[in-house]
Amino acid sequence: MNAIGRYQTELGFITVRADETAVTAVCFTSESDCFLPEKRSVLTDSTALQIREYLAGCRREFDLPLRPSGTPFQQRVWSALLNIPYGEVRTYTEIAAAIGSPRAARPVGSACGANPLFLLVPCHRVVAKHGIGGYGGDVARKRQLLLLEGIAY
């Protein structure tokens, strides 16, 4: 059974997708998309609750089973992102070095942009060498997320 739920958060609407055992995608959703059919589950509801707790400043880590779909390179990048602690950032270059591909800063940026699990896999904690860098969920939201974690950019 694949589940899908749409939820209101402090940063806007999100869509959470899950299969029987893991969260497979979380993304920002336009308000008009929230009227499409849903098939919520305990896992989609739990994910939304944990995201709301994080955005309220009551949670620093997520306790959810994750199964993002991507290439082996993307999987390595996303795995490295899970090691960035709350309240810290890394550069694209640092992530590239951490996964054994020191010249792959741009592909790391692309993998961050393709991250299907916004917030849960913290691509917002990856910044450019000389600036905030991009963010698939909007750079203004990235700045808000970093500020929430005590990082001014």
40-65 pLDDT tens trace = 999 999 999 999 999 999 999 999 99
What is this structure's pTM?
0.92
Question: What is the reported pLDDT for 75?
Answer: 98
| Nearest-angstrom CA–CA distance, 83 and 59 | 16
Position of tokens 């750079």?
A: 139
Terminus-to-terminus CA distance in the chain, angstroms?
A: 41
Position of tokens 């810290």?
A: 88
Catalytic residue among 34, 58, 112, 123: 123
pLDDT > 70: percent of the chain: 96
Position of tokens 């800063």?
A: 105
Backbone angles phi, psi at 31, to 5 degrees: -60, -35
Closest-CA residue to 22 (of 61, 65, 69, 68): 65
Per-residue buried b or exposed e for 75-107, using 16+ beta carbons within 10 Å of the residue's own CB: ebbbebbeebeeeebbbbbbbbbbbeeeebbeb
Active site residue 58: no
Decide if 121 contacts 104 (C-beta within 8 A).
no
Average pLDDT over residues 65-72: 97
| Nearest-angstrom CA–CA distance, 69 and 79 | 12
In a 3-state reduction of DSSP, which class is residue 41? coil
Task: Return left, alpha or beta for 150; rule: phi > 0 is left, psi -120 to 50 is alpha, else beta.
Answer: left
Q: Is residue 77 scored above 90 in pLDDT? A: yes
Confidence of residue 34 (pLDDT cuts 50, 70, 90): low
